[in-house]
Amino acid sequence: MKKIYIKTWGCQMNEYDSSKIVDLLSKSHGYIVTKKSENADILLLNTCSIREKAQEKVFHQLGRWKNLKKNNVNLIIGVGGCVASQEGEYILERAPYVDIIFGPQTLHRLPKMINRLYIDKNPIIDISFPKLEKFRSFPPTISSSPSAFVSIMEGCNKYCTFCIVPYTRGEETSRSSNEILLEISNLAEQRVREIILLGQNVNAYRWFDTDGRVCTFANLLRLVAAIKGIDRIRFITSHPIEFDDDLIEVYRDTPKLVSFLHLPVQSGSDRILNLMKRSHTVSQYKSIVEKLSKVRPNIQISSDFIVGFPGETESDFDNTINFISEMNFDMSFSFLYSPRPGTPAADLPDEVEEEEKKRRLYILQNLINKQAKLWSDRMVGTTQRVLVDKILRDEFETISGKTENNRVVIFNGSYTNMGKFVDVEIIDSGIHYLKGKLLSIDNKINSL
């Protein structure tokens, strides 16, 4: 049997894409996954452009694979994802031993690319942007987990000055609501209990049917909640500018939608938000959270922050720290600003010294970690509904699952609990995980 090794960097969308690549090549060429690159017949790198020096990271990995190609002339090496979309032919200039370069919107063409490669042996580059073609080419999803990702839209129209996504994944394009609901119904029949809806800007979802009627993101959430067997719904990642009142009403009326929201803000300074072209203010963001808290008093919010954006003063940073303290964010993600080639912010004078950026990041992350720990500490002594998704150690009957607020809980149980909702008493807390004691299984929820 032919073997595929795929290395994935970046967001959940990339993880989703990689799983679809495996499904496609398994069906078309009989590839099976190997965890050892030296055993593979095809090596694929699914890349991300978000972090600093993303391109160099790709070429370092390709350099490590070069020797494998020398030892096996039939080995196929492919580069996909956002760096592939951004760099294109330059990848071949620096790494001429690469065989296939494909973008996020052309990964479904890999079977045909491989067939063509077998015939003419010439490198293939396809980083075009065919809208939604890939979703119609995917085989039906097979899931072995009680939790599954479902991509509902691609791309972004916001063009934040720091972000490369609109240039590497294209503009916003939504999938048919019927296609999405059919995929989720199929997953529910496989005993998937939790759905995570994916999109670069997920709440920008809009689908217009043949009669001109629109299905908004709020409408879609209500439809997903009506599917029998789906008992928990999450989504990532959303944008404040499109977090409208209709979406807040879904939180009020739809218990299956979790009381946890990741809503990136990026800065607590209106001046910096304006330079970032974020299209929202700090007060508008606060207003969204205030409205959410009225309909879901126990909701927890996580966010994203960029530290050291060009022109960020000490006062701007202080505003961000004060904002984080006031909002009491939970489990947020923060990064040092680094310019992405081709983005407007890359041309701005970067006046913040690297050491100062690191100092600010340390202060910000330390504050968020303290807040996250306090959130976890409050859970000790409570009973949490946990979806069991992993068996950690069979011999010790140790399993784990996630709470509604996205905390990992480790506790003693049985493999028979896998894929079920259970009640767990939280007995200890850390920043990144909790320890619990199994109380009971929610048989009402777990019966289909």
Domain regions of the chain by residue span: 3-126, 140-258, 288-379, 380-441
Cβ neighbors of 412 (< 8 A, separation 6 or more) are 396, 397, 398, 399, 437, 438
DSSP 3-state of 58:
helix
List the CATH code of the domain at 288-379: 3.30.750.200
Are 288-379 and 380-441 in the same CATH fold? no
Q: Is 215 annotated as a binding residue?
A: no
Are 21 and 139 in contact, with CB atoms under 8 Å apart? no
Return the structure tokens found at 167: 């240039």
* pLDDT at 140 (0 to 100): 87
Residue closest to 79 by CA, chosen among 96, 70, 314, 67: 96
* pLDDT at 448 (0 to 100): 45
What whole-number distance in Å separates Cα of residue 401 and Cα of residue 388? 4
433-441 and 408-412 strand pairing: parallel
* pLDDT at 444 (0 to 100): 56
Q: ∠302-196-247 over CA atoms, to 5°?
A: 65
Q: Is 82 annotated as a binding residue?
A: yes
What whole-number distance in Å separates Cα of residue 424 and Cα of residue 319? 39
* pLDDT at 84 (0 to 100): 94
Cβ neighbors of 201 (< 8 A, separation 6 or more) are 153, 155, 156, 157, 158, 172, 237, 238, 239, 242
What whole-number distance in Å separates Cα of residue 7 and Cα of residue 21? 12
- Name the CATH topology of 380-441: OB fold (Dihydrolipoamide Acetyltransferase, E2P) (2.40.50)
Residue keyed to tokens 């048989």: 443
Beta strands in 74-119 (DSSP E): 76-81, 100-102
Residue closest to 286 by CA, chosen among 242, 323, 333: 323
- Name the CATH topology of 140-258: Transcription Regulator spoIIAA (3.30.750)
Return the structure tokens found at 201: 């800007």
DSSP 3-state of 281:
coil
**Count H helices, E strands: the chain?**
15, 22
Amino acid at 13: M
Instruction: Tell me the HSE value of 114 on the side-chain side, using a 13 A CA sphere.
Output: 25
Query: Would you list the DSSP string of 359-403?
Result: HHHHHHHHHHHHHHHHHHHHHTT-EEEEEEEEEEETTTTEEEEE-
CATH architecture assignment, domain 3-126: 3-Layer(aba) Sandwich (3.40)
DSSP element (H, E) containing 6: strand 3-8
* pLDDT at 375 (0 to 100): 93
Are 3 and 39 in contact, with CB atoms under 8 Å apart? yes
* pLDDT at 334 (0 to 100): 93
Q: What is the pLDDT along the chain (448 residues), one digit of tens a residue?
A: 899 999 999 888 899 999 999 999 999 999 999 999 999 999 999 998 877 677 888 999 999 999 999 989 899 999 999 999 999 999 999 999 999 999 999 999 999 999 999 999 899 999 999 888 888 889 888 888 999 999 999 999 999 999 988 988 888 999 999 999 999 999 999 999 999 999 999 999 999 987 888 999 999 999 999 999 999 999 999 999 999 999 999 999 999 999 999 999 999 999 999 999 999 999 999 999 999 999 999 999 999 999 999 999 999 999 999 999 999 998 889 999 988 888 999 999 988 899 999 999 999 999 999 999 999 999 999 999 999 999 887 666 899 999 999 999 999 998 899 999 999 999 999 767 899 999 987 655 554 4
What whole-number distance in Å separates Cα of residue 86 and Cα of residue 354? 26
- Listed as own residue / partner, the contacts of 370-378 with beta carbons closer than 8 Å and 24 or more positions apart are 371/324, 371/328, 371/329, 371/330, 372/330, 372/331, 372/332, 372/431, 373/429, 373/430, 373/431, 375/300, 375/330, 375/331, 375/405, 376/407, 376/429, 376/430, 376/431, 376/434, 377/429
What whole-number distance in Å separates Cα of residue 385 and Cα of residue 403? 6
Return the structure tokens found at 314: 């000490």
Q: Is 163 annotated as a binding residue?
A: yes
Residue 343 has φ and ψ, to the nearest 5°, of: -95, 150
